[in-house]
Structures are given as structure tokens and as C-alpha cells.
Amino acid sequence: MAPAFFECLVLVGIHSYLGIHVIRRKVIFVDLALAQIAALGTTVGFLFGILPGTMGAYWFSLAFTVLGAAIFSITRLRNGKIPQEAVIGLTYAIAASIAILVIDKAPHGAEHIKEIMTGSILWVKWETIRNAAIVYTFVGIFHYIFREKFFLISNDADAAYRQGLPVRFWDFLFYVSFGIVITHSVGTAGVLLVFVFLVVPAIASTLVTDVLWKQLLIGWGLGLFVSTVGLYISYTADLPAGPTIVAFYGLTLVVLATFLYIIRAKEKKPALLKTAAVTVSIAVIFFAFNLLGNALSKLNHTHQHQPNTLSEETHLIHEVKQHKLLENMSEEELDRFLITVRSAERLQDLFKAEKEPYIRFKIAARLADFQLKPGLTLLMELLKKCELPFLREEIVQKMRTLTGRDFGYDPEQTPQKNKAALKKWQDFIDRME
């Protein structure tokens, strides 16, 4: 947990500053677009067999990010009819679509997309934090040296043009330095968390003050608070860290905006009444959707034909063996199929017959849900041989959920470097009744 906390602090430090530029330039989605372009670079590298988190993946990601920086600097026109935000949004959509098309041809595509979006900040290593801190420090020094030019363009681009400043050139330098930060961040925090670290502290601080140093202090303080609480909730509730922090950031921003609205209102009573009315309306809408969902669910179950469980299981296993390989199933089909299998012996047979690591993980996880030791034994067998970091992470998360332990296993390291943790796991499983 300590590495994840310090990684959040490092991210908050540089991203809160860059987010202020983003807000002042009114290019809110440039960070999301650059993050997606960086993720596309990682995805393309993955297609060539370069695993995320490696140096090869980093250079792929950085190269794509520099290309994105060039696009954004070139497409900024002084009197253009098309706003740059439209170009940025289109770039994001294209990058995301290409990433999906590329990953569709790679093994474990869905898992890779999930890792890119949510990151794996809980498993970040001290070495990664150190490298990020060094890179962010150099970027910060670079921005401090040229702060007058960067802030002039961010605050008033027309004034920069009138002074004869080569705006496109400085835009390119800004987006390249921005992209270098994004490239490092996406690898650990994921696209969603990077976007929130950039935007939410900047929005919150801008709501409070227009003074730069005060905005920075507010952004850093908010980031520290949200990261601490978000990581704690993630750890105690066994939730993905990235999405948990994102959700808590959103909630915090809503609470802050509501508080500022009330205290700045000339008449407090009407402001409080409006706030209460909105809160009640949201609660009523939520309750109504909950009732509607339950009603439709019951209606659907009433009209569904309930087949004999054993015959359905036998039929589906026969289909898998005779007609359709498990790897040809979508993840939803695979989950639906495995739920019907309630025989430990049949699950073990499927595990032995299957070659695809991720599908073997799903089978072992299903077995562990109702027979813990046999399931953990299969998960352990996978973990000892798994060469894919994101799959190792999923296996460890499943084992930790089942047992409440991880024995210091680091999914970013190879099985060979995790020998001590693997031995502790094996001893723990062997002692189980």
C-alpha cells in the first residue's frame, strides 16, 4: 500500500500543475486524448509481443505521444472555424478505436484494455516511483524555466501571437513535455485515473481562487486527501484502486461545488432549499430505477424456461468438447458456461485440457469459489508459470480475495524473482484441510 500512496503523491504533484494549464487553455480533453494515444502505443507494442511495463513498451508509448503532440500543436489555428477541442475529441475517438482493433488480434485483449484503462497502481514498484519522480522533476524544471511563455499562451494566446511568439513551436514543446508525463503515468495509473488527476484538482482549485500558488496548494492538498481515502477504501473493500480513486474524486468535487454554491449565495435559505431539492430528486430517481430494475428482472425470470441443471451442464460441456473451443467464446459466454459447471472433477478435466492461460485462470477461479483448496492449487500452478504481468495480477487478486493474503507477491516480477512468496503460498495451501 505504501508504494501506491507515494505514487499517487508523485502523480498529484505534476498533474495538478499541468491541469491548471489545461483548464486555462480550455482544452479539457487533451489529457484524455494524449493518455489514450500513449495507451495506443503500448497496445501496438503488445501486439508485437512487448509486455506492458517494459522499456520497449515505454518507447512505443512515448513515440506515439510525441506524434500526438505534433498533431495538437499543428491543428491550433489562430482564427480557425473548427475549435481545437473538436480535433482533440476526434483524435481520442480514433486512437481508442484503433486500440480496440489492434488488441482484437492480440491474446488476452480484453484484459489488456482493462489494464490500460484502470492501471495497476496497487502493484507499483519503488523503482517505478523513483524513475517517475526523476522524470517529473525535469519536466517541472523545464516548465519553471519557460513559465512566462507557457502561461502567456495558456492565459491569452492572442496576446502571445501579438508579441510575435511562435505559438505552435511552444505548443509543441508543451504537449511533448505533457506527453512525457502522460506516458509514465498511464503505465501505472491507467487512462481514467490520469485524466482525473489532471482535471479534478485544477477544477476544484479554479472554483476557489484565481491565484496560481493558491491553486497549486489546493490541488495538492485535495489530491493528498482523495488519494489517501481512495486507497484505503480500495484496500478494505477489495476494489480496483484506480476506479475507486476516480469515483471518490468525483464525489469530492460535487461536495466542494455544492459547499461553495451555498456559502457564496447571497440568500442562504433559497440556496439550501435548491440543494435539498436536487438531492431528494436524485434519491427519488435512484430509487425509481432500482424498483424498475427489480421489476423487470422478476418479469424476465418469470418468462424464462428453467432447464434441468444437470442436463444443461452436460449439454454445454459436450458442446465445448465437440463443437466449440473455449478460446472461441467471448468472456461473457465463458463466464455463463462456467457458472453451469458444478462438478469439481469436470472443472479439473477442463483445466487440464485447456492450453490458453487466461481461460485456465477462469476455470481455476470458478473451482475455487466452491472448493477452495483444489481451486487454489490450480491457481498456484498457473502462478508459478505465468509470464504475463496483468494475468499474474488477476490471479493474485483472486487468491487474496479468497484467503486475505498475498505473502508479498509482486505481479510485476517474474516467477523466479517471486520464489520466496510462491513458497509461502504453497506452504499455506498445503496446510489447508
Question: DSSP string covering 91-136, please?
Answer: HHHHHHHHHHHHHTTSTTHHHHHHHHHH--GGG--HHHHHHHHHHH
Q: 179-193, 198-212, 246-260, 264-278: which range is least confident on average?
A: 179-193
Per residue in 231-290, pLDDT (tens digit) is: 888 888 877 788 888 899 999 999 999 999 999 888 888 889 999 999 999 999 999 998
Statement: residue 158 has pLDDT above 90: no
- Please give the C-alpha separations between residue 281 and each of 50, 111, 295, in angstroms, as whole numbers: 50, 37, 21
Cα dihedral across residues 209, 215, 217, 222: positive or negative: positive
What pLDDT was estimated at residue 78?
A: 66
Confidence at 323, pLDDT banded by 50, 70, 90:
very low
Per residue in 14-49, pLDDT (tens digit) is: 999 999 998 998 888 887 888 788 888 888 887 777
Instruction: Determine the Cα–Cα distance for residues 33 and 73; give it in Å rounded to an integer.
Output: 13
Q: Is residue 268 exposed (0-12), middle (13-18) or buried (19+ Cβ within 10 Å)?
A: exposed
Q: Which residue reads 486527501 in cell numbers? A: 225
Give the residue with greater pLDDT, 307 vs 10.
10
- Please give the C-alpha separations between residue 199 and each of 110, 116, 192, 248, 425, in angstroms, as whole numbers: 27, 19, 11, 14, 41
Model-level pTM?
0.68
Q: What is the CA radius of gyration of the chain?
A: 25
Cα 397-193-138 angle, rounded to 5 deg: 115
